[in-house]
Amino acid sequence: MQAGGYDRGLKGLKTFIFGTLVEHKPGVLQKVSNMFRQRNFNIESITVGPTERGDIARMTITMRGEEEDAVQLEKQLRKLIDVLEVKLLDPSETVVRELALVKVRVEDWRARSDLVNWANIFRSRIVDVSPDSIMIEITGAPSKIDAFLELMKRFELLEVSRTGITAMERGLNRIGLK
Amino acid sequence: MLELSGSKALVKALEKEGVSVIFGLPGGAIMPVYDALLDSGIRHILARHEQSAAHMADGYARASGRAGVCMATSGPGSTNLVTGIANAYMDSSPLVAFTGQVPKAMIGRDAFQEADIIGITAPITKYNHQVRSASEIPSVVKKAFLIATSGRPGPVLVDLPKDVQTEVAQMEFPDSVEVRGLSLPLDPDPELLKKAAELLAGADAPFILAGGGVRISNAHRELVRLAELLMAPVGTTLMGKGCIREDHPLSVGVIGMHGSPLANMLIVKADVLLAVGTRFADRTTCDVKEFCKEAKIIQIDIDPAEIGKNKRVHLGIEGDARKAMAGLAEELAKRLKGERPAHWYERIKQVKAKLHNEEGDGLSAPRLLRRLRKLLPDDAIVTTEVGQNQMWASLHFKAYGPRNFITSGGLGTMGFGFPAAIGAKVARPEVPVVDIAGDGSFQMTMNSLATSVSEKIPVVAVILNNGMLGMVAQWQRLFFRGRYSAVEIKPPDFAKIAEAYGAQGMRAESMEEFERAVKAALGSDVTTVIDVPISPEEDVFPMVPPGCKLEDMIGV
Ligand SMILES: Cc1ncc(C[n+]2csc(CCOP(=O)(O)OP(=O)(O)O)c2C)c(N)n1
């Protein structure tokens, strides 16, 4: 499984981001992800969390495929009784974010100062420091995180944990219940 | 508000839904419900295997149009239901299944007879739910029936931990419930109906393909009206068989891999194809890319996800088949002036005259089925097993009503037909119900003879006994150089088996004996098994070989 990253390997396929509202109760994530497997969709990331309403959770789903696959995915999602609303988000009108925690081994001071510089340039934050390692928290569009991770390959990467994508439309647009 | 135990509330909620019969088999984790059933007017029909209980409920649902209910205990009881649930899911049948579960505190500990039936059935149910507190039960039951029967129907499973069944709570029985995630079907868009009418009115060679959705929506009258307006031939999918009386002059039979030659020949020549309530299943379309490639296709379906899922269409209309076809007929009536060209009609008549008129006394399956048709009243219900028997029935047994031909289409489940016949007979006791069986399939669920006999639900099983897993043998003859692998089954003496269960058993070795046996069975109130030996190596033809297009039909 890809840890919610942007996969650049598949040519000719587009990335689609769906915002969904679902019943906030056990088993719903399983039903949704089960359906993706059952119907052979190419899912890159699913993130889920509570909303301002206790009985509703919000799921952000990123898939790769053709236009037709996206249409089918939207319809299949709507069929699930626990899924309350589905919206295909327009990337140009949407803020898309991902958070990653990145831990690298850095022992010598020169490398350390390089690392701190780069972390600053990417507007990321250093959240933990030990004599041999540094942990950085970075937030941004998935492509920014990709770029940052690319750079971090110069060091010994100890751990990467990406949250997967969350997204929200700009302005007054929102995903509301029917 | 009423203070009741969970199991009493369940039974009361079922009564309120109008449930009069449950098919099931008890066990430890569902015993409180079985105890509560004793104080209810609901009839419980005891299956001998939970798979059969699910098929019975499914057969009941298909014959009646109402939801069928089945029940099982936790663990193996619930997993035995799985094939039956999957079968109902594939054919969009409204089934409501109740399963016992280990007490909440034991869940997840691999307790005795624990199975994660919610996880197991998620991909084969329209919805499933584990009840966590007794007070939920009345509304959960109401929701279960609403979800199973609305829009595109499908199975719903409700899992009942044992402690929830015994828990006493204040119960409120709602008259209606809202399920916020359930999208109810939209009315068909009038603009799209107009467009469809335009297309059809301008068609030279229109063709109507009616699927199971037509039966489910009770749209058979609208179908015939539309066909007659257009003077268009009507083919059906296996699920739609009978939606137009198959002796109607415009009926051309079932489309598909073992479709009627007339239907397959005509559909590929259509310039406008109206497809209603069908998902363009691969057994219907064969090579789906090549299927009606030149035609403009109009698809009507209540499930928006079906529109364009398997086949790209020119015009997709979401909505109930009955409403859509009624609207379409109105629009068409405005546009069609004068006589419709009758060249299609003439052609159908000519071809029909040539087909299927061969009679004779040898016991070939086609002849037996044509004879059976003559022996049964028009409104008789026929179920089938899976394999050659099913395809022969599709080809040679004409159905005269939308709920008169019950078969496992999507899943192709051997063993479905006999228990489904029992369920259908419970739904419509006034008509004869006959399972057209193969000797292999029948052996999968023939223990339902016990249910049929002890519950006095008389049905007839006609076993087309070729001593083979016939359809597999046919494929081995055709596509595996005739090498038989694991298909010879040397069946038991079915007549004796029937008798051992207290049913009537007969063997028919000539057409005369067959006729006599069927008449005796129809005149009797005891379940009857008629064992008819047929040639072990007869093929079902015509056939579209796998991977080919409808035009490549062989053996016509
Ligand atoms: C439960 C199940 N197992 C296996 C199959 C695969 N299968 C399809 S047709 C067939 C043979 C059926 O034999 P029989 O019931 O004797 O019918 P016939 O084809 O001889 O009419 C088999 C094994 C199936 N459809 N269902």
**What is the best residue among B471, B484, B538, B540 to mutate for testing ligand 1's pocket, by most ligand atoms within 8 Å of CB?**
B471
* Rounded distance between C-alpha atoms, residue B330 and residue B174, angstroms: 39
Determine the distance separating the centroid of ligand 1 and the alpha carbon of B434, expressed in angstroms.
19
B330 given a catalytic annotation:
no
The predicted pLDDT at position B341 comes to 64
Question: How does pLDDT run across A58-100, given as a tens digit for each residue?
Answer: 999 999 999 999 999 999 999 999 999 999 999 999 999 999 9
Domain ranges of chain A: 6-89, 95-166
The two tokens of residue B255 are: 């489309």
B113 given a catalytic annotation:
yes
Q: Do domains A6-89 and A95-166 have the same CATH topology?
A: yes
Question: How does pLDDT run across A156-165, given as a tens digit for each residue?
Answer: 999 999 999 9
Q: Is B92 in the pocket of ligand 1 (CB under 6 A)?
A: no
Determine the distance separating the centroid of ligand 1 and the alpha carbon of B480, expressed in angstroms.
17
Question: Catalytic residue among B414, B471, B506, B553, which?
Answer: B471
Kindly provide the residue ranges of all beta strands, DSSP E only, lying in B244-372, ordered along the sequence.
251-254, 272-276, 296-301, 315-318
* Rounded distance between C-alpha atoms, residue B233 and residue B178, angstroms: 42
User: B549 by DSSP, 3-state: which?
Assistant: coil
If we measure between CA atoms, which residue out of B26, B127, B133 comes closest to residue B80?
Answer: B26
| Chain B environment of A68 (Cβ under 8 Å) | 308
* For testing contact with chain B, the best of A25, A28, A77, A79 (most B CBs within 10 A): A79
Determine the distance separating the centroid of ligand 1 and the alpha carbon of B62, expressed in angstroms.
22
Helix B388-396 to helix B470-479 angle (10° resolution) is 90
Which percentage of chain B shows pLDDT scores above 70? 97
Does domain A95-166 fall under CATH 3.40.920.10? My reply is no
Is the omega angle on the peptide bond into residue B542 within 30 degrees of 0, that is, cis?
A: yes
The predicted pLDDT at position B97 comes to 99
Contact A51, A57 (CB under 8 A): yes
Q: Is B84 in the pocket of ligand 1 (CB under 6 A)?
A: no
| Chain B environment of A80 (Cβ under 8 Å) | 181
* B539 half-sphere exposure, CB direction, 13 A CA radius: 16
Question: How does pLDDT run across B203-245, given as a tens digit for each residue?
Answer: 999 999 999 999 999 999 999 999 999 999 999 999 999 999 9
C-alpha distances (whole Å) from B45 to each of B42, B53, B426, B536, B553 are: 10, 8, 10, 36, 44
The predicted pLDDT at position B359 comes to 60
User: Residue B409 is which amino acid?
Assistant: G
Class of domain A6-89: alpha beta
User: Residue B82 above 60 pLDDT?
Assistant: yes
Q: Is B445 in the pocket of ligand 1 (CB under 6 A)?
A: no
| Chain A environment of B308 (Cβ under 8 Å) | 68, 71
Q: Is B9 in the pocket of ligand 1 (CB under 6 A)?
A: no
The residue whose C-alpha atom lies closest to atom 16 belonging to ligand 1 is B440
B504 given a catalytic annotation:
no
Among B88-102, B104-118, B341-355, B415-429, name the one with the lowest average pLDDT. Answer: B341-355
Question: How does pLDDT run across B4-17, given as a tens digit for each residue?
Answer: 999 999 999 999 99
| Chain B environment of A56 (Cβ under 8 Å) | none
Distant-in-sequence, close-in-space partners of A114: CB < 8 Å, separation ≥ 6: none
If we measure between CA atoms, which residue out of B200, B195, B224, B225 comes closest to residue B336?
Answer: B200
Confidence label for A1 from pLDDT (cuts 50, 70 and 90): very low
Question: How does pLDDT run across A115-153, given as a tens digit for each residue?
Answer: 999 999 999 999 999 999 999 999 999 999 999 999 999
User: What is the model's pTM?
Assistant: 0.95
Q: Is B470 in the pocket of ligand 1 (CB under 6 A)?
A: yes
Determine the distance separating the centroid of ligand 1 and the alpha carbon of B472, expressed in angstroms.
7
**What is the best residue among B368, B383, B397, B414 to mutate for testing ligand 1's pocket, by most ligand atoms within 8 Å of CB?**
B414
Contact B262, B355 (CB under 8 A): yes
* B341 half-sphere exposure, CB direction, 13 A CA radius: 9
The predicted pLDDT at position A13 comes to 85
* Rounded distance between C-alpha atoms, residue B546 and residue B556, angstroms: 16
Q: Is B324 in the pocket of ligand 1 (CB under 6 A)?
A: no
Distant-in-sequence, close-in-space partners of B133: CB < 8 Å, separation ≥ 6: B164, B167, B169
Q: Do B305 and A27 touch (CB under 8 A)?
A: no
DSSP per-residue string spanning B419-462: HHHHHHHHH-TTS-EEEEEEHHHHHHHTTHHHHHHHTT---EEE
Determine the distance separating the centroid of ligand 1 and the alpha carbon of B275, expressed in angstroms.
29
The predicted pLDDT at position A9 comes to 47
Q: Do B181 and A34 touch (CB under 8 A)?
A: no
Burial B106-132 (b: 16+ CB within 10 A, else e): bbeeebebbbebbebbbebbbbbbbbe
Q: Would you state the torsion angle of the CA atoms of residues B355, B361, B367, B369, taken in this order, to the nearest 10 degrees? A: 140
The predicted pLDDT at position A177 comes to 78
Distant-in-sequence, close-in-space partners of A150: CB < 8 Å, separation ≥ 6: none
* Across A25-37, average pLDDT: 93
User: Residue A10 above 60 pLDDT?
Assistant: no
Where helices occur in B17-170 by DSSP H, the ranges are 31-37, 50-64, 76-90, 117-121, 137-149, 162-166
Q: Residues B245, B246, B250, CA angle at the centre, nearest 5°? A: 90
The predicted pLDDT at position A4 comes to 31
| Chain B environment of A31 (Cβ under 8 Å) | 122
Distant-in-sequence, close-in-space partners of B465: CB < 8 Å, separation ≥ 6: B438, B439, B491, B494, B531, B532, B533, B534
* B383 half-sphere exposure, CB direction, 13 A CA radius: 33
If we measure between CA atoms, which residue out of A58, A50, A152 comes closest to residue A100?
Answer: A152
* Rounded distance between C-alpha atoms, residue B308 and residue B188, angstroms: 16
Determine the distance separating the centroid of ligand 1 and the alpha carbon of B538, expressed in angstroms.
15
Q: Do A81 and B122 touch (CB under 8 A)?
A: no
Distant-in-sequence, close-in-space partners of B332: CB < 8 Å, separation ≥ 6: B197, B200, B201, B226, B229, B230
Structural domains of chain B in order of their starting residue, each with its CATH number: 2-171 (3.40.50.970), 190-354 (3.40.50.1220), 365-544 (3.40.50.970)
* Across A18-37, average pLDDT: 95
Contact A95, A167 (CB under 8 A): yes
User: Residue B339 above 80 pLDDT?
Assistant: no
Contact B425, B453 (CB under 8 A): no
Number of neighbours of residue B532 by Cβ within 10 angstroms? 26
- Picking from A30, A75, A177, the nearest residue to B304 by CB comes out as A75
Total residues found in chain B within this entry: 556
User: Residue B357 above 80 pLDDT?
Assistant: no
Q: Most distant CA pair in chain B: distance in Å?
A: 73
The two tokens of residue B383 are: 């179920």
Q: Which atom of ligand 1 is nearest to the CA of B392?
A: 21
Q: Is B438 in the pocket of ligand 1 (CB under 6 A)?
A: yes
Residue of A nearest to B118 (CA): A27
If we measure between CA atoms, which residue out of B151, B245, B258, B253 comes closest to residue B209?
Answer: B253
Question: Catalytic residue among B50, B136, B167, B385, which?
Answer: B50
Q: Do A35 and B303 touch (CB under 8 A)?
A: no
Contact B148, A59 (CB under 8 A): no
Residue of B nearest to A178 (CA): B180
Q: Residues B538, B544, B549, CA angle at the centre, nearest 5°? A: 175
Question: Catalytic residue among B162, B241, B311, B425, which?
Answer: B162
Distant-in-sequence, close-in-space partners of B80: CB < 8 Å, separation ≥ 6: B49, B50, B51, B72
User: B244 by DSSP, 3-state: which?
Assistant: coil
If we measure between CA atoms, which residue out of B53, B28, B33, B39 comes closest to residue B137?
Answer: B33
B50 given a catalytic annotation:
yes
Confidence label for A5 from pLDDT (cuts 50, 70 and 90): very low
Q: Do B308 and A27 touch (CB under 8 A)?
A: no
Q: Do B181 and A35 touch (CB under 8 A)?
A: no
| Chain A environment of B304 (Cβ under 8 Å) | 75, 78
Residue of B nearest to A35 (CA): B123
Question: How does pLDDT run across B265-298, given as a tens digit for each residue?
Answer: 999 999 999 999 999 999 999 999 999 999 999 9
* Rounded distance between C-alpha atoms, residue B113 and residue B52, angstroms: 20
Q: Burial level of B10, CB count in 10 A (0-12/13-18/19+)?
A: buried
* Across B469-486, average pLDDT: 97
Q: Would you state the torsion angle of the CA atoms of residues B127, B131, B135, B137, taken in this order, to the nearest 10 degrees? A: 50
Tell how strand A43-50 and strand B528-533 pair up: unpaired
| Chain A environment of B130 (Cβ under 8 Å) | 27
Q: Is B441 in the pocket of ligand 1 (CB under 6 A)?
A: yes
Residue of A nearest to B127 (CA): A81
Q: Do B181 and A80 touch (CB under 8 A)?
A: yes
- Residue B488 carries which DSSP code? B
* Rounded distance between C-alpha atoms, residue B168 and residue B2, angstroms: 10
Confidence label for A12 from pLDDT (cuts 50, 70 and 90): low
Total residues found in chain A within this entry: 178
The predicted pLDDT at position A11 comes to 58
* Rounded distance between C-alpha atoms, residue B488 and residue B49, angstroms: 25
Contact B24, B42 (CB under 8 A): no
In whole angstroms, how large is the CA radius of gyration of chain B?
24
Count Cβ–Cβ pairs < 8 Å, chain A vs chain B.
36
B162 given a catalytic annotation:
yes
- Residue B367 carries which DSSP code? H
